[in-house]
Amino acid sequence: MRMISLLCIFALRSETTFTQMWSVRLQTEIQSVVVGERSIFFGTNNSFGAIDQATGKKVWAKSVALPQLGVYIAEGDGVLYASVGQGSLWAYNSASGKQMWTAKRDGYSSPIGAYNGAVYAEMTPGKLSALSAGTGKPMWTADLLNSSPSAKPIRYGKSILVGTKLGTVFSFDKDSGKQAWKFEKGNASCRAILVGDEGRPVVFFDDGAVICLSNVTGQRMWAYYSNNGIFGTPLYQDGRVFLTSASGNFICLAGLNGQELWKRKLSPRQNFGLSQPLPWRAGYLLADRTKLAYLNAEGERQWESDLGEDLFGQQPRALGGDLLLSSSHAIMRYHPSDAE
């Protein structure tokens, strides 16, 4: 028995060490992080701003009045947009932090998206608006059936796709706001939308459902039920869907029909500290509470490295040859080094 234990410990010993390049600790809980060309942008419960990628020093930051329920951010075309808890939607020059415009919002903030000269945000409860990036003036407003966005609106072609807290997914024309279709699942909140092969949206819900829709009609093409919570944004790569669930499983699905290709048990019990996977080298890297775990192409755990800080299930991000990690209150850059 002891020999088996020693072999298991050896098998999971890290073949890569991670050196912390810098760490920035923020005063309140981090709500959103966006990686730009030179800066890393953050939104917390009482602030938002920019961090220099190379040094970890704050380039600029703005404080907001408390209490708030978080700041959702989006960045595009040199502009950082910030939707503040119970405040306004602000636009700042992403390099200098100079305010460009502000637009009044009602209700609580929700995830926002910015694409090609427009920002898409909930300005009035239960409605999605498109605003001009240059002026903040509304271009159109569309009805979300008395619900709020629960995942970042995404753009695909001429469409804006958005999922809500009540489990409805909408497709709107990006220029006019006219509804192309809607899909109503209900009883679950949309966690993320990815666009897969042939432009078909794959939608992830917090009850563990994965549903692929027609990009033309919104009709359900296939569905998979993991029977446990899905958090964060899974991965669509090479015609396959890769996701983790709170059950501790790492699952691979065929993007064409949703068939389960394999399922690996990464934790013996419920694990809310397990992140979604990042493609890394020949396999995948994910956060498992305080550890970075490396999995091969078939999802089998090869080694792990304990960083000593709870990553709260936040997905690692690639930053050049380094990794960007975040916890509840900190953003960190790590450099990997292979053992001889």
Q: What is the structure's pLDDT at 10?
A: 40
Q: 178 lies in a domain?
A: no
Q: 315 lies in a domain?
A: no
Quickly state the pLDDT bin for 13 (edges 50, 70, 90): low
pLDDT 10s digits, 66-99: 656 789 999 999 999 999 988 899 999 999 999 9
Asked if the model's pLDDT at residue 12 lies above 60, the reply is no
Percent of the chain with pLDDT over 70: 94
Q: What is the structure's pLDDT at 138?
A: 96
Quickly state the pLDDT bin for 7 (edges 50, 70, 90): very low
- pLDDT higher at 186 or 209: 209
Q: What is the structure's pLDDT at 14?
A: 58
- β-strand 113-115 against 220-225: which pairing, if any? unpaired
Q: Are 250 and 263 in contact (CB under 8 A)?
A: yes
Mean pLDDT of 109-135: 96
Asked if the model's pLDDT at residue 16 lies above 80, the reply is yes
Q: 136 lies in a domain?
A: yes
Q: 48 lies in a domain?
A: yes
pLDDT 10s digits, 146-157: 999 999 999 999
Asked if the model's pLDDT at residue 6 lies above 80, the reply is no
Asked if the model's pLDDT at residue 3 lies above 60, the reply is no
Q: What is the structure's pLDDT at 26?
A: 94
Lowest mean pLDDT: which of 62-66, 130-134, 211-215, 318-322? Answer: 62-66
Q: What is the structure's pLDDT at 68?
A: 60
Hey, is 109 helix, strand or coil? coil
Q: 147 lies in a domain?
A: yes
* Cα 282 to Cα 98, 239, 241, 310, 338, distances in angstroms: 42, 16, 16, 26, 14
Lowest mean pLDDT: which of 59-68, 87-96, 287-296? Answer: 59-68
pLDDT 10s digits, 229-279: 999 999 999 999 999 999 999 999 999 999 999 999 999 888 999 999 999
Domains held by the chain: number: 1
- First vs last C-alpha separation in the chain: 30
Listed in sequence order, the residues at least 6 apart from 169 whose beta carbon sits closer than 8 Å to its beta carbon are 161, 162, 163, 182, 183, 185, 190, 193, 201, 203, 213, 218
Listed in sequence order, the residues at least 6 apart from 59 whose beta carbon sits closer than 8 Å to its beta carbon are 39, 49, 50, 51, 52, 95, 97
Q: What is the structure's pLDDT at 5?
A: 36
Quickly state the pLDDT bin for 198 (edges 50, 70, 90): confident
Quickly state the pLDDT bin for 2 (edges 50, 70, 90): very low
| Cβ neighbourhood burial of 27 (10 Å; 0-12, 13-18, 19+) | exposed
For the range 125-128, what are the long-range contacts, defined as Cβ-Cβ under 8 Å and sequence gap of 24 or more? 128/153, 128/160, 128/162, 128/170, 128/172, 128/177
Q: 169 lies in a domain?
A: no
**Domain enclosing residue 127, as ranges:** 29-152
Q: 306 lies in a domain?
A: no
CATH of the domain at 113: 2.40.128.630
CA distance 273 to 122: 29
C-beta atoms surrounding 276 within 10 Å: 25
Q: What is the structure's pLDDT at 159?
A: 97
Q: 281 lies in a domain?
A: no
Asked if the model's pLDDT at residue 190 lies above 80, the reply is yes
Percent of the chain with pLDDT over 90: 86
CA distance 40 to 325: 11
Among left, alpha and beta (phi > 0; psi -120 to 50; other), residue 94 is alpha
Q: What are phi and psi of 147, to 5 degrees?
A: -130, 170
